[in-house]
Amino acid sequence: MNSKITVSGKIISELSEKIPTNIIALNELLKNAYDAGASSVRVILNTNKKKLTVIDDGSGMSKNDIDTLFHISNSTKKYGKINEYGRRTQGSKGLGFLSVFKFGRIVEWKTKKDDGLSFKVNYEELIASDDISQFDIDIISDNSIAKGTSIIITLDDYNITSLKQYLSVPKNYKKILAMFDDKNFRIDLKIDDLKYSSDDNIPLKDNAPEAQLYSVKYDDVEQKIKFKYNNVEILDEDYKFSSKAYKLEIDLIIYQFKAYGKKNVDELFLNQQNDLCPLIYVNSNLFNNYDLFNPNIMKNIKTSYVLNQMVGFIKITSTNPMINFNSDRSQFLQNEITDEIREFLTNINKQIQILGSNNKKYLANRDFLTVQELPAECISIRECEKFRKYIKEDFSFKKDVKISREKNVVKYAIFGKEVVLPIKQGIPPSKHSGNGIKDDDNEEKRECDDPVNVSDGNSGASSSTIVPARISLIRGYEELYVPSSQLDLRTYIDCATDSAGEKIEHQNICIKDGNNLVANGILESITDKCIKKIEYSYKDPCTGIVITTLDIKFSEHASGVKCGKSETPIVCIPGTKENYNINYNIYINSLIEQINDSDKDNFLALISCGLRAGFELSVDSIKNSVKFPDFFKSPTQTKLDDRVIHVINFIKSDKKFLSAIALSAGVEYKTISNLLDEIRFKSAISSANLGAHKAGEYLGKADVEAMGRCLGVFVLVVNEMLSNGEIK
Q: How sure is the predictor about 448, in pLDDT bands with cuts at 50, 70 and 90? A: very low
Domains in the chain, number:
4
The DSSP code for 199 is G
- Residue 131 has what pLDDT? 66
Helices 640-652/604-623 angle, 10° precision: 60
The pairs formed by 671-675 with CB atoms below 8 angstroms and a separation of 24 or more are 671/483, 671/525, 671/527, 671/574, 672/574, 674/273, 674/527, 675/527, 675/574, 675/713
Q: Are residues 225 and 141 in the same domain?
A: no
The number of CA neighbours under 13 Å toward the Cβ of 498 is 15
Residue 368, in any domain of the structure: no
Same domain, 238 and 169: no
Assigned domain for 427 exists: no
Q: Is residue 5 part of a domain?
A: no
Instruction: Flag whether pLDDT at 438 surpasses 50.
Output: no
Task: Determine the Cα–Cα distance for residues 684 and 686; give it in Å rounded to an integer.
Answer: 5
Q: Are 535 and 516 in contact (CB under 8 A)?
A: no
Q: Which of 92, 98, 96 is nearest to 75 (CA)?
A: 92
CA distance 110 to 535: 62
**DSSP-H helix ranges across 240-279:** none
Instruction: Note whether 84 and 37 are within 8 A (CB).
Output: yes
The predicted pLDDT at position 15 comes to 58
Spatial neighbors of 580 by CB under 8 A, at least 6 apart, are 559, 560, 573, 664, 665, 666
Confidence category of residue 446, pLDDT binned at 50, 70, 90: very low
**d(C-alpha 550, C-alpha 548), whole Å:** 7
Q: What percent of the chain has pLDDT over 90?
A: 38
pTM, two decimals, is 0.60
User: Is position 228 within any domain?
Assistant: yes
Asked if pLDDT for residue 557 goes beyond 60, the answer is no
CA–chain centroid gap for 531, Å, is: 19
pLDDT average, residue stretch 403-414? 92
For residue 555, give the 3-state DSSP assignment: strand
State yes or no: pLDDT of 658 exceeds 80. Answer: yes
Rounded to the nearest 10°, the torsion over CA 709, 714, 719, 720 is 110
Residue with more model confidence, 426 or 606? 606
pLDDT at 43 over 70: yes
- For residue 568, what pLDDT is reported? 67
**392 Cβ partners below 8 Å, 6+ apart?**
362, 368, 369, 370, 398
Q: Which of 165-174, 559-568, 661-670 has the lowest mean pLDDT?
A: 559-568
Same domain as 214, residue 358: yes
In angstroms, the CA 716 to CA 680 distance is: 16
Identify the pLDDT of residue 410: 94
414 falls within a domain? no
Nearest Cα residue to 327 out of 603, 694, 704, 686: 686
pLDDT of residue 638: 77
* Band (587; pLDDT cuts 50, 70, 90): confident
- Domain check: are 57 and 195 in the same one? yes
C-alpha torsion sign, points 620, 623, 626, 631 = positive
Q: Are residues 493 and 506 in the same domain?
A: yes
Pairwise CA distance, residues 231 & 415, whole Å: 8
Q: Which residue has the higher pLDDT, 682 or 82?
A: 82
pLDDT beyond 90 at 602:
no
Does residue 599 surpass a pLDDT of 70?
yes
Report DSSP state, residue 180.
Answer: B
From CA 35, how far away is CA 30, in angstroms rounded? 9
User: Is residue 26's pLDDT more than 80?
Assistant: yes
Range from 300-304, 678-682, 690-694 carrying the lowest mean pLDDT? 690-694
Task: Check residue 265 and give its pLDDT.
Answer: 94
pLDDT of 463: 41
Q: What is the mean pLDDT of residues 192-217?
A: 92
| Domain hosting residue 672, numbered range | 588-723
Q: Are residues 592 and 713 in the same domain?
A: yes
Model confidence band, residue 353 (pLDDT cutoffs 50, 70, 90): very high
Higher pLDDT, 647 or 703: 647
Domain limit, last residue, from 155, 176, 200: 200
pLDDT, one tens digit per residue, over 49-58 is 999 999 999 9
Contact between 296 and 346 under an 8 Å Cβ cutoff? The reply is no
The CATH number of the domain holding residue 134 is: 3.30.565.10
- Is residue 28, in this structure, part of any structural domain at all? yes
Question: 18 and 132, same structural domain?
Answer: yes
Tens of pLDDT, residues 243-264: 999 999 999 999 988 777 788 8
What is the distance between the alpha carbons of residues 522 and 489, in angstroms, rounded to a whole number? Answer: 6
Query: Mean pLDDT across the chain, nearest whole number?
Result: 82
Q: Is residue 88 pLDDT above 80, yes or no?
A: yes
608 contacts 699 by C-beta, under 8 angstroms: yes
What's the rounded mean pLDDT across residues 522-530?
82
- The DSSP bridge pattern shows strands 40-46 and 186-191 to be parallel
Q: Are residues 103 and 238 in the same domain?
A: no
Q: For residue 486, give the CATH number of its domain.
A: 2.60.40.10
Q: Which residue has the higher pLDDT, 329 or 445?
A: 329
Contacts with 540 (C-beta within 8 Å, 6 or more apart), sequence order: 469, 498, 499, 546
pLDDT at 441: 37
Helix residue spans in 88-200 (DSSP H): 123-127, 157-167, 170-177
Exposure string of 183-200, with b = 16+ CB inside 10 Å and e = fewer, is eebbbbbbbeeeebebee
Confidence of residue 624 (pLDDT cuts 50, 70, 90): confident
Answer whether residue 369 is part of any domain. Answer: no
Cα 156–161–163 angle (5° rounding)?
Answer: 90
106 lies in the same domain as 168: yes
Q: Is the pLDDT of residue 360 over 90?
A: no
Q: What is the DSSP letter of 563?
A: -
Q: Indicate the residue among 200, 231, 257 that finishes a domain.
A: 200
* Per-residue pLDDT at 1: 57
Query: Which pLDDT value is given to residue 578?
Result: 55
Extended strands (E) in 462-529: 470-473, 477-482, 487-488, 493-497, 510-513, 516-517, 522-523
What is the bridge-based pairing of β-strands 310-317 and 247-255? antiparallel
Query: Measuring CA to CA, how many Å separate 315 from each of 272, 281, 576?
Result: 20, 5, 42
Report yes or no: 150 and 51 within 8 Å, Cβ to Cβ. no
Domain termination site, one of 362, 383, 402: 362
Q: How far apart are CA 248 and CA 317, in angstroms?
A: 7
DSSP code, position 365:
T
Collapse the DSSP code of 285 into the 3-class scheme (helix H, G, I; strand E, B; otherwise coil) and give the result. strand
Grade residue 457 by pLDDT with cuts at 50, 70 and 90. very low
Least-confidence region, from 105-109, 326-330, 368-372: 326-330
Question: Residue 368's closest CA among 422, 419, 436, 301?
Answer: 419
DSSP letter (8 states) at residue 398 = G
The domain that contains 299 carries what CATH number? 3.30.230
pLDDT tens-digit series, residues 372-391? 899 988 888 889 999 999 99
Name, in order, each residue with C-beta under 8 angstroms of 2's C-beta and a sequence gap of 6 or more. Answer: none
Specify if 309 maps to a domain.
Answer: yes
Residues 595 and 712 in one domain: yes
- Write the burial class of residue 270 (CB in 10 Å: 0-12 exposed, 13-18 middle, 19+ buried): buried
What string of DSSP letters covers 662-675?
HHHHT--HHHHHHH
pLDDT at 118 over 80: yes
| C-alpha pair distances (Å), 379 with each of 106, 433, 450, 634 | 85, 15, 11, 85
Task: Report the pLDDT averaged over residues 8-20.
Answer: 59
pLDDT, tens digit, 9 for 90 and up, residues 463-514: 446 788 899 888 777 878 776 778 889 988 988 998 888 889 888 899 999 8
Residue 379: CA count within 13 A, CB half-sphere: 17
Q: In this structure, are 195 and 216 located in the same domain?
A: no
CA angle, 268 then 272 then 273, to 5°:
110
The pLDDT value given to residue 689: 63
Strand order in the sheet with 139-141: 139-141, 116-122, 104-112, 148-155, 51-56, 40-46, 186-191, 194-197
Asked whether residue 488 falls in the same domain as residue 351, the answer is: no
Instruction: Provide the pLDDT for residue 394.
Output: 85
The pLDDT of residue 6: 44
Name the range with the highest mean pLDDT among 150-159, 308-317, 563-572, 717-726. Answer: 308-317
22 pLDDT band (50/70/90 cuts)? confident
Using the predicted structure, report yes or no on whether residue 451 has a pLDDT greater than 90: no
Average pLDDT over residues 196-216: 92
